Amino acid sequence: MEPYERKVAGLLVVSRNFLPGIKLLPFNEIKALSEKVVLIKSKDALKKPDQSSGLLELWKKGPRLFGQKVIAEDGSYLGQMENFTFEPSTGEIIEIIIAPGLMRLGPRYRLKSSYILTIGKDAVVVKREGREALTSIPGKFSNTFFKIKENLARWGKAIIKKQDD
């Protein structure tokens, strides 16, 4: 991740064959990209970490987006970065996916990258208006969890009312 340009700088490729290893793939060496396939310009595009100093530096010292805190510029906590989407042709980040916290129970939200002010080592800081711009992502588990929580709260009120009668 290139934090200043808000772009994917490259991909980390983990080999799971007989000789496992890690290679770095600079984004500009990608010929085509889809959900399941990455076509590269040549087999030489895959670099060992020690052969790609710029990517290696970003990989070692750059911001780690996954699990990163997302806060608004007024300091309010929005959640943790769970994922992001990017434009396959340019690597430009389109949106980030925010989960509510450590347990990640509850709704997830999308936030367009235009609300991102900075991607730092400790947090992703977004514009104040980012809170209102969050769009909920329907999720089977999170919706079920909140329905159960809502029903438990309703049942608790009903039981308390009955005891008062």
Q: Given pLDDT bands bounded at 50, 70 and 90, which one contains residue 25?
A: confident
The residues near 70 (Cβ < 8 Å, ≥ 6 apart) are: 77, 78, 79, 80, 81, 96, 98, 111, 123, 124, 126
**Mean of the per-residue pLDDT values of the chain:** 77
Query: pLDDT tens digits, residue range 100-123?
Result: 765 556 778 999 999 999 888 888
Q: How far is CA 160 from CA 59, 69, 138, in A?
A: 55, 39, 32
Whether pLDDT at 51 is above 80? no
Pairing of β 30-33 and β 38-40? antiparallel
Whether pLDDT at 152 is above 70? no
- Long-range CB contact pairs, 139-146, < 8 A, 24+: 139/107, 139/108, 142/105, 142/106, 142/107, 142/108, 143/107, 145/105, 145/106, 146/106, 146/107
* Mean pLDDT within 21-44: 83
Q: What domains sit in the chain, N to C, each tagged with a CATH number?
A: 10-61 (no CATH), 69-139 (2.30.30.240)
Nearest alpha-carbon partner for 96 in 128, 59, 67, 57: 67
Q: Rounded to two decimals, what is the model's pTM?
A: 0.67
Q: Looking at per-residue confidence, does 142 or 92 come out higher?
A: 92
Query: pLDDT tens digits, residue range 58-79?
Result: 766 666 667 788 999 999 999 9
Q: What is the pLDDT of residue 22?
A: 79
